[in-house]
A and B are shown apart, each in its own frame.
Chain A
Amino acid sequence: MANGTLFPVTVVGSWTRPQWLVQALRRRQAGEISLEEFSRIADDAVLAAIKYQEDAGVDIVADGEMRRDNFYSFVVEKLSGMRLMKLSELLDYIKDRAGFEEILRALDVPAFAIKSPIATEKIRGGEEGIALDEATFLKAHTGRQTKVPIPGPYLLTRSSWFEGLSDRAYPTREDLAKDVVQLLRKEIEGLIRLGIDFIQLDEPSISQVVYGDEAEQTFMCAALGSRADPTTELEFAVRLVNETVAGFSGVRFGVHVCRGNWSRKEDVLLSGNYGPLLPWLMRMNVHQLVLEMATPRAGEVEVFKEYRNEKELGLGVVNPRTDEIERPEQIVARVKEVLQHFDPSKIFLNPDCGFGTFAERCVNTPEIAYRKLQAVSAAAALLRREYA
């Protein structure tokens, strides 16, 4: 529950980008404009994203990730030692090229379109942190509660460590993980100081461990780096998340795990219920799991039966990738299914994922995203009346 309100409405993070912002981002990436110039342009986009959310009735707002090219690779701008590399540049270092080729063909995307931050030297953050500038601007422009999504420690470690490129600075992935955790802890300190209410660690690549294919090196949204067997990976992820959040108070922590948000073709996204992941997710010392539950891909809610009320659930109730606007009654019905396993105070409502996980591949228009959030707010109002 946020400030005593049942069924708080929030977002997963990203908002759909206007074309002028994408153009500015490209110019920034090409070095044609400075970070300061880009930030001034992005300020307008953030203000619009906040306004859309507030008007739609969102209780806990985010800045729309408008300054980011995607949910994790933006860290390259903020950290030294990281290089944003295209998959086409990484092909020489990938062991299972044939497996990668199959994924590229299934997605029908060129290797140059997928980018990942790669640790090529010791990573170091500056005073401005990873998202402290975003958080400062957000706090200054909304009176609502605030959420800041940041890349989780497992995601950052897994996607950034690449054999042949990272091992000079970090002989093992474990070595990189130590620095990543310290960096994120510093970031969290800063976000708490700014008064951010909700810090969301994005960890989508966790689900790839369980639901993806068996290629040694794979990507689902972000996971470019190598991985070990699923149990080792999940244990690693739990440990890193717990080390990252240990000892902090005064803020709500969530972990967001989705199964893909790059395409409107549901069949190319990972699917399966959260059952196989829950034993590990429940061991993460966070308040909330932010999960996609709006599509049949997410599977049945019975998987939560044995974890009743163990955590809050950030329940995905609208699909960010469709034109159809979910009806509030439809959302209410889904929430009621979940309420078999959770008290009302444990449920937050949000879309399954962001509306613009990748700046150049947003999955919806602002108009539709806005109407979907309105539907979520309307559903929350109906639920509050019933469960107050």
Chain B
Amino acid sequence: MAEEKELNGLRVDKITAILDSMRDDPATLKAVTGPWKSRVVWQGGFKAKAYMRKHVVQMDEPEGLDASDSAASAHEQLLSAIGSCLTVGYVLNATKRGIKIHDLEIALEGNFDNILKWAGHSPSGNPGYPSVKAKCFVRADADEKTLRELWQAAIDGSPVTQTVARPTQIVTEFEKI
């Protein structure tokens, strides 16, 4: 049996087959499309736990907010989610093009526009990040032009990045128990 080709920690044939199947098989496409789910349960104070399939992620707020800082905050995890999604996209695109990545790191940061809105001291304004900076550092076996193309493809194809970057409707509901 031929040995499976691995690149960047991925099985090249397998990932190619999955990508093709997303295009060719409606059931696969449906499974990958969603719905994606998370259930967030309050743990007291500013702590929360997010349950996603078999995974649990803790969240808390920094000590400056009189919280216990036992975990990263949701707004930090949003940055991490963008970075992680860009990482996945970069690796996917590099692997598709047969490019070996040695190191990949993305540094993200954002400043809130008007956090006084969150604090209840300001009636208007955007309490969130008006922009997020994401800098990619990569060492890989390709020229700079190619590596920049991969970065752009990762940005354009990133579900999380594009969710944040585009106007996204958050459909909220409420129920008192």
Contact = CB atoms under 8 A, between A and B. Distances in A.
Interface in A80-135: 86, 88, 104-105, 108-113
A88 B135 CA distance: 16
Q: Is the interface of A mostly helix, strand, loop or mixed?
A: helix
B84 to A, nearest CB: 15
A112 B139 CA distance: 9
Nearest to A111: B105
B133 to A, nearest CB: 10
A112 B105 contact: yes
A247 B174 CA distance: 80
Contact of B103 (A104, A108, A110): A110
B136 to A, nearest CB: 9
A113 B104 CA distance: 10
B102 to A, nearest CB: 8
Chain A interface category by residue count: 10 to 19
B19 interface: no
Contacts of B137: 109-110, 112-113
Nearest to A87: B105
A104 B107 CA distance: 9
Nearest to B107: A105
A110 B105 CA distance: 6
A6 to B, nearest CB: 47
Interface string B88-119: 00000000000000010101010000000000
Interface string A9-45: 0000000000000000000000000000000000000
19 contacts: A86-B103, A88-B103, A88-B105, A104-B107, A105-B107, A105-B109, A108-B135, A109-B137, A110-B103, A110-B105, A110-B107, A110-B137, A111-B105, A112-B103, A112-B105, A112-B137, A112-B139, A113-B103, A113-B137
Interface of A: 86, 88, 104-105, 108-113
